[in-house]
Structure formats: structure tokens, C-alpha cells
């Protein structure tokens, strides 16, 4: 009789099913990390990421506490800007000599320094308030004259920052910083911004990673040489930048992330313990001492002899019984052996 395994908790789970469950939990964790980002739902409300950043920075700016405002260490240089009609007319005259898809040429430097000086004459918040937002990258490429000299706001993911020593210029700057990055709108296409001051938290180097909020003016599409020594074009903007401001909701989101990770770890631990216990139950358990066993109470005294004779009789083949029959011709020949049989002619 085949013995069956005792499974008080039902059928056990295979290793493949447990692995599939763990992979599904990992997918859910990644999906949660993606869904919890506000920009994932912007397409439903038609709200830009820049507006979301403004909403996050407003509670911090209203607090007026030291070190929380974006303009705590802001340097303002008084001077003319686009609000002055004469200054605006001079800029329009300078912009006529701009050539797109070319390197930055010497005759384009007056417009370059004028726009960079405009960005330093007002507080960052005021300049940011009147800037254009969410300009499509394709429209900037197709219609550069329409946006040339216009203030723009970008949330830039910086990947390269280079410091340059400048020559004599109208602003009296000794050094400028050139940052390469991309936005969510431009995807992998780079954008070049020139800054009079380096924003805090962003290092200098050719392989950096950081985010800045940039507000400045569009100058031209400038050509440059890539690492593969290929000619490429990127929009050139001059202005100022600050690091993104985070509000108190970021800490709350971090608490939810810790709780979610703890939940995932607890489920994984319980799953492993359950799998281990079910694996232990699959082993054969010994028969209890009081179990019923079908066995005779007493064996006969000659059980060994009887079993031997039975086995011997079964091993020998069966021989059929023969009956001895005496033929009649033997009796006749023995009574008169010399008399030959009579011939038919003698009769």
C-alpha cells in the first residue's frame, strides 16, 4: 500500500511560484515609486511640472525663515533691463547680427553680455514670474527668432558644468559657468546655459548629476563639438539658476516610502518562513506507537517446515500419469512362434 504524505495545510507551493510572487512584488514596488511622483499624473490635469514646483516652493518662501528662501544669498546688481525702452532698442539692434547653428562669434558678444546683465538686475522670483514656461523644444528649433531675447524658465537636469575665465567685459565678471543639461521636454537633447554664479549643490565637472531651476534669456542655437567629435547644435541661454526648493510634503512622502519598504520586507519574511515550514512538513513522519497493524497474534510451531515444503512443491514441475497397456500382438506371437501364417494358394 502506497503511503501518502501528511499535508495539514494543503498542497505545497513550488519554487517557481514563490519566485514569481517575489518578482510580482518587485514590479509593484517599482510601479509605486513611479506612480507616487506628481508628474506621472500631469497629463490628467494638464498641469506643467514647473507649476508643480512653484506650488511646492510657495509654502517655504512664505515662511521667511533663514536658509529656506531661494533668495537668501541673492546678489542684485542695479542696472537697466528690458523695462527701459532705450535698452530694449539697443538689444534689438544687437540681435540682428545673431547667426544660428554657428559657434558664438565675436560680433554676437554685445547681445550676449547685455542679456546676462539683465538677469542680474532683478530678484530671482520677479524674473521667474514673467518668464515663459514649457516652450516646446521643436518650436524653439523651428522659430528661434520668435523667442530670441525672451526670458524663459527651465528645470534643468545638469550633467556637465565647466568654469571659464572671461576676458574684459561690460559686467566686470572674472569667471562664468557653462552648464549642460536637459529637461523633461527636450529628453536627451542638451541645453546650454551660462551663469554668472554657480548654484550651490552642483559640482564642477564633466560627469555630474544635479537639478537646477534656471531663469534667463534665449540667445541662439549654438554649434559645438561632442565627445564623438561630431558637430551638434543646442540652444544657448544666459541667466541665473538656483537649486530646487522642497517643502515639508517631501518628508511625509519619505515616511510613506519607509513604511512601504517595511511592508515589502515583512511580506517577504513571512513568505520565506511559510515556504520553509511547508518544506519541513513534506518529510515522511514516523508511524505512531499506537497505530493499528494487521498481524497474526501467534504463529504455528511448524511454520518454517510448512513453508519450506510448499516452496519445494511449487518449484518441481508436474509429471502426468501414464497407463501401461499390453498390445495384443505380443500374446499371439508368444503362443505359437514357429507356425507361419497360411498362404491363400494352399487353401
SS3 content of the chain, % helix, strand, coil (to 5): 40, 15, 45
Q: What percent of the chain has pLDDT over 70?
A: 59
Average pLDDT, the chain: 74
**Residue from 57, 36, 48, 30 nearest 183 by CA:** 48
Residue 127 belongs to domain spanning? 80-247
Do the domain assignments include residue 64?
A: no
Do the domain assignments include residue 193?
A: yes
| Predicted local distance difference test score (pLDDT) of residue 235 | 96
Query: How many structural domains are present in the chain?
Result: 1
* Calpha distance 125→123 (Å, rounded): 6
| Predicted local distance difference test score (pLDDT) of residue 13 | 58
Residues 245-294: pLDDT tens digits?
765 555 455 556 666 677 777 777 777 777 777 777 666 555 555 555 55
- Give the cell for residue 341: 501364417
Do the domain assignments include residue 346?
A: no
* Calpha distance 203→159 (Å, rounded): 10
The crossing angle, in degrees rounded to 10, of helices 109-118 and 85-95 is 140
Residues 30-74: pLDDT tens digits?
777 767 766 556 555 444 444 454 444 443 343 333 333 344 567
142 or 346, greater pLDDT: 142
Residues 71-100: pLDDT tens digits?
456 789 999 999 999 999 999 999 999 999
Do the domain assignments include residue 345?
A: no
Compute the CA torsion angle 54, 60, 65, 67 (nearest 10 deg). Answer: -70
Do the domain assignments include residue 252?
A: no
Task: Give kind and range of the element (H or E) at residue 59.
Answer: helix 49-63
Compute the CA torsion angle 102, 105, 111, 113 (nearest 10 deg). Answer: 120
Do the domain assignments include residue 209?
A: yes
Do the domain assignments include residue 10?
A: no
pTM comes to: 0.57
pLDDT of 194 higher than 50: yes
**Residue from 87, 105, 108, 112 nearest 97 by CA:** 108
Q: What is the arithmetic mean of pLDDT over 312-325?
A: 51
DSSP structural state of residue 106: G
Please state the φ and ψ torsions of residue 258, each to the nearest 5 degrees.
-65, -45
Do the domain assignments include residue 283?
A: no
Question: How sure is the predictor about 144, in pLDDT bands with cuts at 50, 70 and 90?
Answer: very high
Residues 200-246: pLDDT tens digits?
888 999 899 899 999 999 999 999 888 788 889 999 999 999 998 76
Q: What is the CA radius of gyration of the chain?
A: 50
Residues 159-188: pLDDT tens digits?
999 999 998 999 999 999 999 999 988 888
**Tally of CA atoms within 13 A in the half-sphere of 88 that contains its CB:** 5
- Report yes or no: 202 and 142 within 8 Å, Cβ to Cβ: no
| Predicted local distance difference test score (pLDDT) of residue 249 | 54
- Give the cell for residue 116: 546676462
Residues 19-38: pLDDT tens digits?
667 777 777 777 777 677 66
Residue 158, CA distances (Å) to 38, 56, 140, 167, 168 in order:
21, 21, 20, 25, 28
Strands 175-182 and 151-165: antiparallel
| Dihedral of alpha carbons 25, 29, 30, 31, sign | positive
| Predicted local distance difference test score (pLDDT) of residue 24 | 74
Amino acid at each position: 500500500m502506497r503511503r501518502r504524505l501528511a499535508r495539514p495545510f494543503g498542497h505545497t507551493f513550488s519554487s517557481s511560484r514563490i519566485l514569481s510572487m517575489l518578482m510580482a512584488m518587485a514590479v509593484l514596488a517599482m510601479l509605486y515609486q513611479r506612480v507616487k511622483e506628481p508628474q506621472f499624473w500631469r497629463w490628467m490635469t494638464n498641469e506643467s511640472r514647473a507649476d508643480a514646483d512653484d506650488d511646492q516652493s510657495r509654502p517655504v518662501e512664505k515662511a521667511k525663515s533663514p536658509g529656506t528662501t531661494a533668495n537668501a544669498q541673492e546678489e542684485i546688481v542695479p542696472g537697466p533691463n528690458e523695462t527701459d525702452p532705450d535698452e530694449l532698442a539697443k538689444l534689438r539692434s544687437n540681435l540682428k547680427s545673431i547667426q544660428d547653428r554657428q559657434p558664438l562669434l565675436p560680433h554676437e558678444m554685445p547681445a550676449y553680455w547685455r542679456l546676462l546683465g539683465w538677469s542680474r538686475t532683478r530678484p530671482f522670483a520677479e524674473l521667474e514670474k514673467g518668464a515663459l514656461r514649457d516652450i516646446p523644444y521643436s518650436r524653439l528649433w523651428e522659430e528661434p527668432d520668435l523667442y530670441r531675447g525672451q526670458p524663459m524658465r527651465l528645470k534643468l537636469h545638469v550633467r556637465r558644468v565647466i568654469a571659464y575665465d572671461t576676458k574684459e567685459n561690460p559686467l566686470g565678471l572674472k569667471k562664468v559657468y557653462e552648464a549642460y543639461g536637459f529637461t523633461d521636454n527636450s529628453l536627451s537633447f542638451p541645453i546650454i546655459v551660462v551663469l554668472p554664479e554657480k548654484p550651490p549643490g552642483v559640482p564642477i565637472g564633466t560627469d555630474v548629476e544635479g537639478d537646477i531651476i534656471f531663469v534667463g534669456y534665449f540667445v541662439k542655437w549654438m554649434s559645438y563639438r561632442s565627445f564623438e567629435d561630431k558637430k551638434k547644435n543646442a540652444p544657448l541661454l544666459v541667466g541665473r539658476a538656483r537649486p530646487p526648493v522642497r517643502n515639508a510634503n517631501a518628508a511625509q512622502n519619505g515616511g510613506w516610502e519607509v513604511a512601504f519598504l517595511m511592508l515589502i520586507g515583512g511580506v517577504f519574511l513571512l513568505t520565506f518562513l511559510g515556504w520553509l515550514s511547508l518544506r519541513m512538513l513534506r518529510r515522511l513522519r514516523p508511524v505512531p506507537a499506537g497505530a493499528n497493524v494487521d498481524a497474526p497474534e501467534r504463529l504455528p510451531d511448524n511454520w518454517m517446515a510448512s513453508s519450506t515444503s510448499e516452496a519445494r512443491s511449487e518449484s518441481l514441475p508436474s509429471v502426468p500419469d501414464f497407463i501401461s497397456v499390453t498390445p495384443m500382438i505380443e500374446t499371439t506371437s508368444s503362443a505359437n512362434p514357429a507356425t507361419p501364417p497360411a498362404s491363400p494358394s494352399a487353401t
